[in-house]
A and B are shown apart, each in its own frame.
Chain A
Amino acid sequence: MAGQDDLDLDALFATARRAAPAPSDGLFDRVLADARTHQPQARPLRTAAPAPRRGMWSMLSALFGGGGVLAGMGSAMVAGLALGLLQPAPVSALTTAIFDDSAVAVDLMPAYSTMIEEAAADE
């Protein structure tokens, strides 16, 4: 008899599992409304944090492999390396001027030109 009771009970449990009450639409909507109320604002996708600002020296030495590689060079030499590597606009304009038939005179150092003229004028 005990075995039969257990079988009946197991059958009842199986029926109960199938007969689970479904949430009413009202309950479903209330739960979703709560979810909306408490949902944190969508965070905008963040790009990687901007690189920390570094001095020009550390930036230049990083370009050449870092680790004190520029230690033996004077700053003028480094500036020359950097100009050649980085090609700031005035330098690339000069390159174009030299190798292009339609050369345009580019006054790189207006102050220097003035100095030369003044020096020449003094002689």
Chain B
Amino acid sequence: MEMPRDTLVEVPDEALLVLYANGDPLAARTLTARLLPRVLGYAARLLADRAEAEDIAQEAMLRLWRIAPDWRQGEAQVSTWLYRVVTNLCTDRLRGRGRRGALALDDAPEVADDAPGAEAAMIEADRMAALQSALDMLPDRQRQAVVLRHIEGLSNPEIAAVMEIGVEAVESLTARGKRSLAAALSGQRVALGYEDEV
């Protein structure tokens, strides 16, 4: 049986970027499949607006394609660079908005009432909405640090590189952010269905 050509799966991001810059026809697709979900997810958490997050995600990837021929290997991770671009684009976008606020994340899945698991899905959707509302109330820098740490899964040194601050500053931001989130959510335990759980 002929296996489909999948030889780029194990290639690191940076190598793919160099391949792309040298005209490889498949590198961009592999990079996009790998990085776009992370870029989009991060932007969506920062902006709480799916359409704006898509704009930011596309812009960030565009900047990556543009910088590819000049990418200096071994200096930074591609993902770190992208997270930094998204952080700065989102900061600018939020400043331009001039308002803080719980815009609805309108991509909650539509679930039929009588579908199996409907109640569980609704509970999960409510919890996610509550989390996003609480995130929206944080100062921008705390939100960035908390999302990068606890949702994107970056280490503190990586976050420090993304946010261009020291590691201690990252730890302080994440600690304060978590405390604020916990306080915001603690009043909602019943509403979010936690009281029913052990």
A residues bordering B, Cβ < 8 Å? 1-2, 4-6, 8-10, 12-13, 15-17, 19-24, 27-28, 30-32, 34-43
Given contacts A27-B58, A37-B65, A38-B66, 7 further A-B contacts (CB under 8 A): A12-B128, A13-B131, A13-B151, A15-B128, A16-B128, A17-B153, A21-B41
Given A27-B36, A27-B58, A28-B36, A21 and B50 touching (CB < 8 A)? yes
B residues bordering A, Cβ < 8 Å? 20-24, 28-29, 32-33, 36-38, 40-41, 44-45, 50, 53-54, 57-58, 61-62, 65-66, 68-69, 107, 124, 127-128, 130-131, 150-151, 153, 178, 181-183, 185-186, 189, 192, 194
Chain A hits for B130, CB < 8 A: 12
Interchain CB contact under 8 A, A43 and B44: no
Separation of A113 and B34 alpha carbons in the complex (Å)? 80
What would 10 A/B residue contacts be, using CB atoms closer than 8 Å?
A: A9-B178, A12-B128, A12-B130, A12-B185, A20-B41, A35-B20, A37-B65, A38-B65, A40-B68, A42-B23
Given A16-B128, A19-B128, A28-B36, A5 and B58 touching (CB < 8 A)? no
Separation of A120 and B105 alpha carbons in the complex (Å)? 110
CB distance from B116 to the nearest CB of A (A): 19
Separation of A48 and B16 alpha carbons in the complex (Å)? 25
Given A17-B153, A20-B37, A9 and B182 touching (CB < 8 A)? yes
The chain B residue with its CB closest to the CB of A26 is B54
Interchain CB contact under 8 A, B65 and A35: yes
Interchain CB contact under 8 A, A6 and B107: no
